[in-house]
């Protein structure tokens, strides 16, 4: 097992040696304000507040959200289609502003507005006359120029209603129309997918909108982890020459977040889903050189719940190296992580690392305002 891990790291280190150092430096300098600003904020937080920052919790109704924000001090909230269905731009903006005001630390307010199949907001005519189009439709209409203008419009809409992070773009490579992920991708090879990711992340960055590449290390033509445990049996070379390239492009462009899939990628770690695998996280953090926020997909998806004993999902995710935990059952998971720290299973130093990265990202995106120099 150890030999396989070392071999994976060595091969990928050689492949990416020409760009990983540069991309790591660019990501740090472009995405993050000086560390001491984040440290000042971190030092004022209790253990419970720092752990809370690591959770992106599912938004519910307004009163429940306010209560949960007060109780758990989450890093952010994630909205779904039902949260926009009976709203106007003005009413949802007022609701989200109230959430921000109720939070001791300003919130990430996130959504999945990819375009095409996944449109949480633009499916409702109160927000836009028609849904944002899929990457494939945009590319067919006008190539990367059309994708860039669509991204600008998407960012403007999201920012106007108080959203500061869009969990996009999909960086997965798929050319098989029958695969689960295909409709959410640009449907092209790794080279074109890389340019797509570079374009979208660049425009999101220019618009001050947080971005998230998904689903690392590449979803492939596999099934749906929302409902099943999926094992990807492709060889390492398939990832090196294909799937990893769009993620490297997005990291080079300065993405804020990389979301890790729940697929078991047997050539990297045959024992754990990628989201719970220290090996996969070491590849992303140490070999590829990403120093931003690493995020899980939702920890209640079947690929995880069938793999853990319920309360341990978030604990295992933190141990693996995740910073931000997408979590619907946060009422169970937050106390579990607190208890894991108090019992010594997770060190407070490990919590500090992730909380600081999240605070740095919030500072870089203007979610948190830096304190004036003394």
* pLDDT tens digit sequence for 42-62: 999 999 999 999 999 999 877
Please give the structure tokens belonging to residue 130: 């028609």
What is the spatial distance between Cα 319 and Cα 311, in angstroms, rounded to a whole number?
A: 14
Comparing 139-143, 156-160, 271-275, 347-351, the range with the smallest average pLDDT is 271-275
Q: Is the pLDDT of residue 20 over 50?
A: no
What is the spatial distance between Cα 206 and Cα 356, in angstroms, rounded to a whole number?
A: 23
Task: Indicate the number of domains in the chain.
Answer: 1
* pLDDT at res. 36: 84
What is the spatial distance between Cα 228 and Cα 293, in angstroms, rounded to a whole number?
A: 26
Sheet with strand 108-111: strands edge to edge? 293-296, 257-260, 210-216, 165-166, 108-111, 76-79, 55-58, 325-327
Q: Residues 321-326: what's their mean pLDDT?
A: 98
Quick check: is 337 in a domain?
Answer: yes
Q: Is the pLDDT of residue 14 over 60?
A: no
Given the structure tokens 């945009």, which residue do they identify? 138
Q: Is the pLDDT of residue 365 over 50?
A: yes
* pLDDT at res. 25: 40
* pLDDT at res. 39: 95
* pLDDT at res. 146: 98
Q: Which residue has the higher pLDDT, 331 or 311?
A: 331
* pLDDT at res. 13: 55
Quick check: is 370 in a domain?
Answer: no
Q: Residues 287-305: what's their mean pLDDT?
A: 89
Please give the structure tokens belonging to residue 27: 């990501």
Quick check: is 374 in a domain?
Answer: no
* pLDDT at res. 64: 87
Quick check: is 290 in a domain?
Answer: yes
* pLDDT tens digit sequence for 75-134: 999 999 999 999 999 999 999 999 999 999 999 999 999 999 999 999 999 999 999 999
* pLDDT at res. 369: 92
* pLDDT at res. 19: 41
For 350, residues 6+ apart whose C-beta sits below 8 A from its C-beta are: 318, 319
* pLDDT at res. 204: 98
Q: Which helix H or strand E contains 77, and what residues bound it?
A: strand 76-79
What is the spatial distance between Cα 355 and Cα 7, in angstroms, rounded to a whole number?
A: 31
Quick check: is 229 in a domain?
Answer: yes
Q: Residues 332-351: what's their mean pLDDT?
A: 97
* pLDDT at res. 2: 46
Quick check: is 339 in a domain?
Answer: yes
* pLDDT at res. 239: 96
Q: Residues 307-335: what's their mean pLDDT?
A: 90
- Domain assignment of residue 333, given as a range: 2-365
Please give the structure tokens belonging to residue 333: 């998971």
Q: Is the pLDDT of residue 142 over 80?
A: yes
* pLDDT at res. 179: 92
Q: Is the pLDDT of residue 34 over 60?
A: no
Please give the structure tokens belonging to residue 101: 């005001």
* pLDDT tens digit sequence for 186-197: 999 999 999 999
Comparing 227-231, 281-285, 325-329, 354-358, the range with the smallest average pLDDT is 227-231
CATH number at 126 reads 3.20.20.300
* pLDDT at res. 28: 45
Rounded to two decimals, the pTM is 0.90
* pLDDT, the chain, mean: 90
Contact present, 27 and 258 (Cβ < 8 Å): no
Q: Is the pLDDT of residue 27 over 80?
A: no
Please give the structure tokens belonging to residue 367: 């979610």
Comparing 224-233, 250-259, 307-316, 355-364, the range with the smallest average pLDDT is 224-233
Comparing 56-60, 166-170, 250-254, the range with the smallest average pLDDT is 56-60
Count the Cβ atoms, other than its own, within 10 Å of residue 372.
Answer: 5
């Amino acid at each position: 097992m150890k030999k396989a891990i070392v071999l994976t790291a060595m091969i990928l280190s050689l492949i990416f040696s020409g760009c990983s150092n540069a991309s790591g430096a660019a990501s740090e300098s472009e995405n993050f304000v000086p560390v001491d600003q984040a440290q000042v904020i971190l030092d004022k937080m209790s253990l419970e507040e720092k752990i809370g920052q690591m959770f992106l919790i599912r938004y519910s109704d307004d009163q429940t959200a306010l209560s949960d924000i007060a109780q758990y001090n989450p890093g952010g909230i994630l909205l779904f289609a039902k949260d926009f269905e009976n709203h106007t731009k003005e009413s949802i903006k007022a609701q989200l502003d109230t959430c921000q005001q109720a939070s001791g630390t300003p919130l990430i307010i996130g959504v999945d507005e990819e375009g095409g199949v996944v449109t949480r907001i633009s499916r409702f005519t109160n927000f836009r006359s028609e849904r944002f189009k899929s990457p494939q439709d945009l590319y067919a209409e006008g190539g990367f120029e059309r994708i860039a203008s669509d991204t600008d419009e998407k960012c403007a809409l999201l920012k106007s209603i108080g959203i500061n992070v869009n969990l996009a773009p999909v960086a997965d490579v798929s050319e098989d129309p029958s695969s689960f992920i295909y409709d959410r991708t640009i449907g092209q090879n790794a080279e074109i997918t890389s340019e797509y990711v570079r374009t979208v992340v660049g425009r999101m960055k220019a618009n001050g909108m947080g971005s998230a590449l998904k689903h690392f290390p590449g979803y492939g033509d596999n099934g749906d982890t929302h409902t099943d445990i999926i094992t990807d049996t492709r060889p390492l070379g398939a990832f090196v020459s294909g799937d990893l390239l769009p993620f490297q492009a997005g990291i080079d462009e300065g993405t804020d977040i990389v979301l890790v899939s729940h697929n078991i990628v047997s050539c990297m770690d045959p024992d754990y889903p990628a989201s719970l695998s220290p090996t996969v996280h070491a590849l992303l953090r140490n070999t590829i050189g990403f120093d931003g926020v690493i995020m899980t997909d939702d920890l209640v998806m079947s690929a995880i719940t069938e793999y853990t004993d319920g309360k341990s999902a978030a604990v295992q995710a933190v141990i693996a190296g995740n910073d931000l935990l997408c979590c619907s059952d946060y009422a169970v998971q937050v106390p579990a992580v607190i208890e894991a720290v108090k019992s010594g299973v997770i060190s407070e130093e490990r919590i500090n690392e992730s909380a600081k990265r999240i605070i740095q990202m919030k500072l870089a995106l203007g979610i948190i305002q830096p304190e004036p120099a003394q």
